[in-house]
């Protein structure tokens, strides 16, 4: 399997975590060891075994379509790193031109 | 040390109800103990003495006015810093949430406050509950009150240490892979992971949603039951919450009778890798249970050998998604926003700076395990193992009322010992993880000090989903017999013996 | 822009277009998909938000029962099967308008799947196969600040309002639509128009394209004529009117045809439609996003009982196509006349106007001429005009009773739109009734003859064409409130 430092860096990008070079170099062998260990699951995960996503089998948990009060806006914005005009101010966004 | 500090919550609540003791007096004693010992133990991330005393004062006033109050009204509690509570920071032990004051209460916070329980503060934990030692806290490491050079377990090491250092009689934890039970085991306290869905996760910052289970931490089985009763129950705000009556755990703790009960030892949870002193105390406890009339048998749960692997795929996958929201946009840390950097760069920098090494490790593993091309082999296979583990439990519970094992293979290890070896660290949860994967309930109860190092050993009891009362029945019976055998609670050894000298302010 | 374009006819001679349409419908539930915040448009920023839709640490979603009900009804009305058991999934990607940095959506287990819709476009029937209709949540709204254009590309920063975050959405996805040939843009438009009518009939959405409550992403690729292998496609977003769907697809077909004809390759990418009439490239899809879908652990599976599904089936309104057939037959319009009604979004309005007493042709006339013009001028939908079908029927009744003529009727409509009350009140308030008293008319005619002796002389000589000038003078004198035919009769009487 052998994850390279470059692959770890790419995963970091996907997870939006800037990793330093020394971090990726430390992480790559650690992740290798962990992934090698956990890959054992494939030994018993045969096609006839159904997967379990929820340990307790509940279904159809709904709520009525009834409005409950929202938070006061001051509370909504209180922890924001930056606010303008009642909105969250965020740095310029790359990527899509909308 | 004030005798109030070593008294059980049950006894304290009796004295409060009888007005022999005021909540302010009791709260003051806890705050003084925190003041005197927490610079060494470091169980708390945040203590709000004024708020605790005000809450205690309100309980005293209501009681003076003749109000009939809930059983635990006026009893102090240490809250793991993963439960949201308005007016207090919730950091989950992470720098990325430093200073965040949530605008809402978790359901359990509301239940605790409604019960008149006095919240002393928020306890330290591994960052976002990821760890078995609190060494992954973004702030500091908590020390084991039995030996300050040792870890207090994790992730709820702060809550367990607060109990064992007599800073609080009750505490709250969350258990995703053992984060209540393993700290309980290594600190000589009691910790319960209720049935998944029996305690609400609303307002409990998520680590791995399909596994996280809030639960009670205490010094006695009855105290745990009293707190369990307060915090459990259906919550319409948590879709995975079970709409069923809470079993009468308090009655079970009082009943404490195991005569005729079938108790099965899980063959796979023992042997190689288990500390001899741990196995010795575990086997002695089995003999005690047999002496009380329980039938001790053995079962095999072959899939448990794959539990750790399945857990370290499912958990990080959910972690990678749950921790995505810490993105510097709406709350928490923001790094590098200099007016020229983009949102993407600021997210990258903030998360690169704000998360610690273990959080990053797990997020990267989870990102990998869920990515296209690997999903089936990793996440998909792990979910199948989850099915196999549930089947093993079902088969075992067809033959036994409860299953038992050591809670964790070793006693508290030394701080620093496993930080560079993640796999060794992960093995601390070897015995606790199966119940998280299957969603059934489990408890850790102290069974003595390991003869090889003098540190506490815990025994794990596992019961079927919604049969939480069985844990208390077995736990209380064992506790009663062992306390008699020891001539007092295990923690008395710490309160009065040389190991706990640093916990006795007066002796310093 | 600067894209090379092939003429549409040439493009159609060389290529067959294949369409794929993804339509997002915002449900008009009282609350959001997973929390009790009000689901309304136009509130002050960040006032309809709570820990759940803000994705605050610790918060958990709970599914809105009404949204499930709407999803099932939509699925049934599209001829879909309804899943016996399905789950939500997390679609993981980072974007500041997403409070959890994953979208709670459905992935490989949609609540509704395998449906079909039949459309008639210019007398030709097309079958649109529905692959799936799944539930998901909307994101917040970004405003881009600083820079020159106000667009994201050169913005200095952005502002986020999360009121829309968590609004329930149903995403309806077609299978590839082939064989439409040159009608591809018209078929796409007809399909979205059909969905709009269907959602309106179901009462599940406001379907206001201009407010974004119905949004279409239009995929198109070109295959050289006679071949069967799909080409690389583009997905055009931001297409928020029926007209734009047709225009954007026409543009993309012409652009792709020019690229392919020049020996180039179409990039698989999202493109953005600009109302000025062109598309621009967005994010390239060559490096496909890895969304790392997995079942949402915070929500339990949805397993609608068959009884419930049948109960909901019984609540379905008449299908829009069946309704159209029925109404066209009842009203007796030719295909083109009827198609104009449908395309103008006037079907329900005319139906209601007829129900209020007008004949179909008169109802059609008012809605498609006078009222369509006003809607166009003010940039609103017909249904948004401040006049009801009942009021339109009342105006027509006044015309038929001879109380007003057509010209006065238009003033009555002005008055209703200006909020002056019911048509009769406007007639009274503005004094608009025609003068039917012959005495008053005769004196007005006489005044006109006296004032225009040359004209009167011509008429006396038999040049009746000149009568128009005198009629005009009389009408002016009486502020239009005269029956022109009667005035002509009187002129002939006096001068004949
Ligand atoms: Mg979608
Ligand atoms: Zn909300």
> Which chain B residue lies closest to A72 (C-alpha atoms)?
B103
* Structure confidence by residue, pLDDT tens digits, A23-59: 999 999 999 999 999 999 999 999 999 999 999 999 9
Considering only CA atoms, which of C199, C291, C192 is closest in space to residue C236? C192
C-alpha pair distances (Å), C248 with each of C19, C234, C236, C345, C399: 12, 11, 8, 20, 43
What is the percentage of chain B residues whose pLDDT exceeds 70?
A: 99
Q: And the tokens for A27?
A: 């992480």
Lowest mean pLDDT among C65-74, C183-192, C269-278, C279-288: C279-288
B231 neighbors B19 (Cβ within 8 angstroms): no
Asked if pLDDT for residue C286 goes beyond 50, the answer is no
Q: Tokens at residue B498, please?
A: 């040389």
Query: Is B179 one of the catalytic residues?
Result: yes
A-C CB pairs within 8 A amount to: 140
Q: Nearest residue of A to residue C290 by CA position? A: A14
pLDDT of residue B203: 98
Active-site annotation holds for B40: no
Query: Which of the four pLDDT bands, split at 50, 70 and 90, describes residue B507?
Result: very low
> For residues B505 and C40, which has the higher predicted lDDT (pLDDT)?
C40
Over 80: is that where the pLDDT of C310 sits?
yes
Q: What is the mean pLDDT of chain C?
A: 91
Q: What is the mean pLDDT of residues B465-476?
A: 98
Strands C63-64 and C15-26: unpaired
C46 in helix, strand or coil? coil
Q: How far apart are CA C366 and CA C389, in angstroms?
A: 10
C54's torsion region: left (phi>0), alpha (psi -120 to 50) or beta? Answer: alpha
Residue C197 and residue C177: Cα distance in Å, rounded?
Answer: 20
Q: Check whether B363 has a pLDDT greater than 70.
A: yes
| Cα distance between residue B122 and residue B159, in whole Å | 8
Closest C-alpha to B123, from B87, B75, B190, B174? B174
Under the banding of pLDDT at 50, 70 and 90, the label for residue B506 is: very low
Distance of CA B157 to the CA centre of its chain: 8
A62-63 and C63-64 beta bridge pairing: parallel
**Domains identified in chain C and CATH numbers:** 8-312 (no CATH), 320-430 (no CATH), 438-494 (1.10.10)
Contacts of C94 in chain B (CB under 8 A): 324, 327, 344, 347
CB contact under 8 A, A88 and C46: yes
CA distance C303 to chain B (A): 14
The tokens 């000025």 sit on which residue?
A: C276
| Chain-chain contact of B370 with C292 (C-beta, under 8 angstroms) | yes
Is the per-residue pLDDT at C431 higher than 80?
A: yes
Output b/e per residue, B60-70; b: 16+ Cβ within 10 A. bebbeeeeebb
* CB-CB contact of C155 with C147 (8 Å): yes
Q: How far is the CA of B83 from the centre of ligand 2 (A)?
A: 20
**Residue ranges of the alpha helices (H) in B84-173?**
107-114, 157-164
- Which ligand is nearest to the Cα of residue A69, counting in written order? 2
pLDDT at position B264 over 80: yes
Q: Which burial class, exposed, middle or buried, applies to B230 when counting CB atoms under 10 A from its CB (0-12, 13-18, 19+)? A: buried
In this structure, of B220-234, C33-47, C383-397, the range with the lowest mean pLDDT score is C383-397
CA distances from C310 to C48, C58, C197, C314 (A): 34, 37, 22, 6
What is the spatial distance between Cα B188 and Cα C260, in angstroms, rounded to a whole number? 75
pLDDT average, residue stretch B394-421 = 97
Q: How far is C291 from chain B (nearest CA, A)?
A: 8
Distance in angstroms (rounded) separating the CA atoms of residues C357 and C390: 8
Distances, alpha carbon B209 to alpha carbons A71, B175, B206, B462, C320, in Å: 24, 11, 6, 21, 43
Q: Are B263 and B295 in contact (CB under 8 A)?
A: yes
Interface touch B106/C290, C-beta < 8 Å? no
Q: Which residue from C60, C90, C292 is facing B201, i.e. has the nearest CB?
A: C60
Is the Cβ pair B330, A52 closer than 8 Å?
A: no
Closest CA to C68 of C99, C116, C112, C130: C112
> Could you say which residues from 393 to 412 on chain C have a Cβ atom under 8 Å away from some Cβ of chain A?
none
Burial of B427 (0-12, 13-18, 19+ CB in 10 A): middle
- Look over chain A and give the mean of its residue pLDDT values, rounded to a whole number: 93
- pLDDT of residue B21 exceeding 50, the answer is yes
Give percent of chain B above pLDDT 90: 97
Start-to-end CA distance of chain A, whole Å, equals 40
Q: Average of pLDDT values for C435-454?
A: 84
Cis peptide bond prior to B155, omega within 30° of 0: yes
Domains of chain A, CATH where assigned: 5-44 (1.10.20)
Over residues C104-113, the mean pLDDT reads 98
Strands (E), B202-342: 213-218, 262-266, 295-299
Percentages of chain C per state (helix, strand, coil), in multiples of 5: 40, 20, 35
Residue C473: beta bridge partners?
A: none
Q: What angle do CA C36, C38, C42 make, to 5 degrees?
A: 155
Q: List the single residue in A17, A40, A92 with the smallest CB-CB distance to B348.
A: A17
Chain C residues with CB-CB distance to B327 below 8 A: 94, 96, 101
**Tokens (6 digits) for C105:** 């959506």
A62 CB neighbours in chain C (<8 A) are 62-65, 68
Distance CA B390, CA B393 (A): 5
- Residue C215 sits at φ, ψ, to 5 deg, of -130, 145
- Cα C79 from chain centre: 22
Give the model confidence (pLDDT) of B106-137 as tens digits: 999 999 999 999 999 999 999 999 999 999 99
- pLDDT tens track for C345-379: 899 899 999 999 999 999 999 999 999 999 888 88
- Residues near ion ligand 2 (CB < 5 Å) are C 35, 37, 50, 52-53
Task: Quote the mean pLDDT of chain B.
Answer: 97
Global pTM value: 0.88
Question: What six digits make up the tokens of C431?
Answer: 């004094």
Lowest mean pLDDT among B215-229, B378-392, C196-210, C464-478: C464-478
C-beta atoms of B334 and A42 within 8 A = no
Phi-psi region of C207 (alpha: psi -120 to 50; beta: other; left: phi over 0): left
Q: Which of C36, C272, C303 is facing A66, going by the closest CB pair?
A: C36
Question: Among residues of chain C, what percentage have pLDDT more than 70?
Answer: 98
According to the model, what pLDDT value does residue C287 have?
A: 57
Which DSSP string corresponds to B294-334? PEEEEE--GGGGGHHHHHHHHHHHHHHHHGGG-SSSSSS--
CB C366 within 8 A of CB C395: yes
CA of C224 to the centre of ligand 1 (A): 30
* pLDDT on residue C475: 83
Task: Report the pLDDT value the prediction gives residue C476, as an integer from 0 to 100.
Answer: 84
For residue B464, the tally of other CB atoms under 10 A from its CB is 21
A90 touches chain C (CB under 8 A): yes
Cβ atoms of B6 and B495 closer than 8 Å: yes
B80 counts as catalytic: yes
Integer-rounded Cα Rg, in Å, for chain C is: 29
Q: Is the pLDDT of residue C30 over 70?
A: yes
pLDDT at position B508, please?
Answer: 36
Token output for C414? 């002005």
- Number of other residues whose CB lies within 10 A of the CB of residue C424: 15
Q: Which residues surround ligand 1, an ion (CB under 5 A)?
A: C 171
Residue B316 tokens read as 């990080």
Q: Which of B448, B379, B442, B454 is nearest to B179 (CA)?
A: B442
Q: How far apart are CA C392 and CA C357, in angstroms?
A: 10
pLDDT digits (tens, 9 = 90+) for B132-163: 999 999 999 999 999 999 999 999 999 999 99
C-alpha span between C304 and B11 (Å, rounded): 50
Of B477, B302, B285, the closest CA to residue B395 belongs to: B302
Of all ligands present, the nearest one to the C-alpha of C133 is 1
Region B44-72: what's the mean pLDDT?
98
**Cβ of C203 under 8 Å from any chain A Cβ?**
no
Torsion angle (degrees, nearest 10) of CA B236, B171, B355, B369: -60
By C-alpha distance, the chain C residue nearest A78 is C46
Q: Is the reported ipTM for this assembly greater than 0.85?
A: yes
B341 to chain A: closest CA residue: A91
**Residue C413 — pLDDT band, cuts 50, 70, 90?**
very high
């Amino acid at each position: 399997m052998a994850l390279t430092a470059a692959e770890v860096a790419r995963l970091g990008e996907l997870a939006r975590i800037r990793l330093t070079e020394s971090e990726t170099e430390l992480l790559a062998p650690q992740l290798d060891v962990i992934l090698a260990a956990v890959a054992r699951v494939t030994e018993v995960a045969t096609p006839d075994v159904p997967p379990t996503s929820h340990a307790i089998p509940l279904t159809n948990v709904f709520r009525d379509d009834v409005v409950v009060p929202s938070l006061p806006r001051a509370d909504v914005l209180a922890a924001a790193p930056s606010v303008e005009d009642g909105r969250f101010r965020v740095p310029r966004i790359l990527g899509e031109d909308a | 040390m004030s005798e109030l500090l070593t008294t059980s919550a049950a006894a304290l609540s009796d004295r409060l109800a009888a007005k022999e003791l005021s909540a302010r007096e009791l709260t003051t004693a806890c705050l003084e103990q925190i003041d005197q010992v927490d610079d060494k133990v470091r169980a708390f991330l945040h203590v709000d003495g004024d708020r605790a005393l005000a809450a205690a004062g309100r309980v005293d006033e209501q009681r003076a006015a003749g109000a009939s109050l809930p059983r635990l009204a006026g009893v102090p509690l240490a809250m793991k810093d993963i439960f949201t509570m308005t007016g207090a920071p919730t950091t989950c032990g992470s720098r990325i949430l430093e200073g965040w004051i949530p605008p809402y209460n978790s359901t359990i916070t509301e239940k605790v406050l409604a019960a008149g329980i006095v919240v002393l503060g928020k306890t330290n934990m591994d960052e976002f509950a990821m760890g078995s030692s609190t060494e992954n806290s973004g702030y500091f490491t908590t020390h084991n009150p039995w030996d300050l050079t040792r870890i207090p377990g994790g992730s709820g090491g702060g809550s367990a240490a607060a109990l064992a250092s007599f800073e609080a009689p009750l505490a709250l934890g969350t258990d995703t892979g053992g984060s209540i039970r393993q700290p309980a085991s290594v600190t000589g306290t009691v910790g319960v992971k209720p049935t998944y869905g029996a305690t609400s996760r609303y307002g409990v910052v998520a680590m791995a949603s399909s596994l996280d289970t809030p639960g009670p931490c205490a010094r006695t089985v009855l105290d745990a039951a009293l707190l369990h009763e307060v915090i459990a129950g259906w919550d319409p705000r948590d879709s995975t919450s079970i709409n069923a009556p809470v079993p009468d755990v308090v009655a079970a703790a009082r009943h404490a009778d195991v005569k005729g009960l079938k108790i099965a030892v899980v063959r796979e949870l023992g042997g190689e890798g288990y500390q001899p002193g741990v196995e010795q105390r575990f086997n002695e406890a089995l003999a005690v249970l047999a002496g009380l009339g329980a039938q001790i048998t053995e079962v095999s749960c072959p899939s448990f050998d794959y539990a750790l692997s399945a857990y370290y795929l499912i958990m990080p996958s959910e972690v990678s998604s749950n921790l995505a929201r810490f993105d510097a946009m709406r709350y928490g840390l923001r790094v590098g926003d200099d007016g020229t950097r983009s949102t993407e760069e600021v997210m990258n920098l903030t998360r690169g700076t704000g998360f610690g090494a273990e959080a990053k490790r797990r997020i990267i593993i989870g990102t990998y395990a869920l990515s296209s091309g690997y999903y089936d082999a990793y996440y998909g296979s792990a979910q199948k193992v989850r099915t196999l583990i549930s089947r093993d439990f079902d088969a075992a519970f067809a033959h036994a009322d409860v299953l038992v094992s050591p809670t964790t293979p070793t006693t508290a290890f030394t701080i620093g010992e496993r930080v560079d070896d993640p796999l060794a660290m992960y093995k601390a949860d070897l015995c606790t993880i199966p119940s998280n994967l299957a969603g059934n309930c489990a408890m850790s109860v102290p069974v003595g000090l390991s003869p090889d190092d003098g540190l506490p050993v815990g025994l794990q009891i596992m019961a079927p989903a919604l049969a939480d009362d069985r844990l208390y029945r077995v736990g209380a019976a064992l506790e009663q017999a062992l306390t008699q055998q020891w001539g007092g609670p295990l923690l008395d050894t710490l309160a009065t013996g040389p190991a706990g000298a640093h916990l006795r302010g007066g002796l310093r | 822009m600067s894209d090379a374009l092939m003429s549409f006819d040439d493009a159609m001679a060389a290529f067959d277009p294949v369409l794929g349409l993804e339509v997002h419908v915002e449900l008009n539930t009282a609350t959001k998909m997973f929390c009790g915040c009000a689901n309304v448009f136009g509130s002050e920023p960040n006032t309809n938000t709570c820990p759940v839709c803000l994705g605050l640490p610790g918060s958990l979603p709970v599914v809105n029962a009404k949204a499930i009900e709407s999803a099932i009804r939509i699925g049934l009305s599209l001829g879909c099967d309804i899943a016996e058991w399905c789950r939500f999934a997390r679609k993981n990607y980072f974007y500041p308008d997403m409070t959890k940095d994953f979208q709670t959506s459905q992935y490989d287990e949609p609540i509704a799947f395998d449906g079909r819709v039949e459309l008639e476009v210019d007398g030709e029937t097309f079958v649109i196969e529905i692959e799936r209709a799944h539930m998901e949540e909307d994101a917040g709204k970004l405003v881009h600040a600083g820079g020159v254009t106000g667009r994201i590309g050169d913005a200095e920063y952005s502002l986020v309002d999360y009121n829309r975050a968590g609004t329930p959405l149903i995403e309806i996805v077609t299978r590839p639509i082939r064989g439409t040939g040159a009608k591809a843009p018209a078929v796409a438009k007809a399909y979205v128009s059909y969905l709009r009518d269907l959602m309106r009939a179901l009462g599940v959405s406001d379907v206001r394209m201009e407010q974004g409550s119905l949004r279409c992403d239009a995929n198109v690729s070109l295959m050289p004529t006679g071949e069967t292998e799909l080409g690389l496609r583009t997905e055009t977003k931001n297409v928020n009117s029926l007209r734009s769907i047709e225009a954007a697809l026409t543009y993309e077909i012409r652009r792709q045809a020019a690229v392919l004809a020049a020996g180039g390759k179409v990039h698989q990418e999202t493109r953005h439609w600009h109302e000025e009439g062109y598309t621009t490239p967005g994010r390239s899809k060559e490096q496909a996003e890895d969304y790392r879908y997995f079942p949402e652990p915070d929500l339990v599976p949805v397993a609608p009982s068959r009884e419930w599904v049948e109960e909901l089936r019984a609540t379905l309104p008449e299908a829009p196509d069946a309704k159209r057939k029925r109404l066209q037959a009842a009203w007796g319009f030719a295909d083109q006349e009827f198609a104009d009604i449908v395309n103008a979004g006037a079907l329900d309005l005319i139906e209601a106007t007829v129900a209020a007493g007008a004949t179909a042709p008169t109802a059609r006339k008012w809605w498609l001429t006078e009222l369509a013009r006003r809607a166009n001028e003010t940039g609103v939908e017909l249904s948004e005009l401040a006049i009801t079908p009942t009021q339109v029927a009342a105006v027509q009744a006044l015309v038929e009773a001879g109380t007003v003529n057509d010209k006065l009727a238009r003033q009555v409509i002005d008055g209703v739109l200006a909020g002056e009350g019911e048509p009769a009140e406007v007639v009274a308030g503005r004094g608009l009734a025609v003068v039917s008293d012959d005495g008053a008319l005769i004196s007005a005619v006489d005044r006109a003859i006296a004032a225009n002796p040359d004209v009167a002389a011509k008429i006396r000589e038999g040049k009746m064409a000149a009568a128009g000038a005198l009629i005009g003078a009389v009408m002016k004198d009486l502020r239009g409130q005269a029956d022109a035919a009667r005035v002509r009769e009187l002129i002939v009487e006096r001068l004949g």
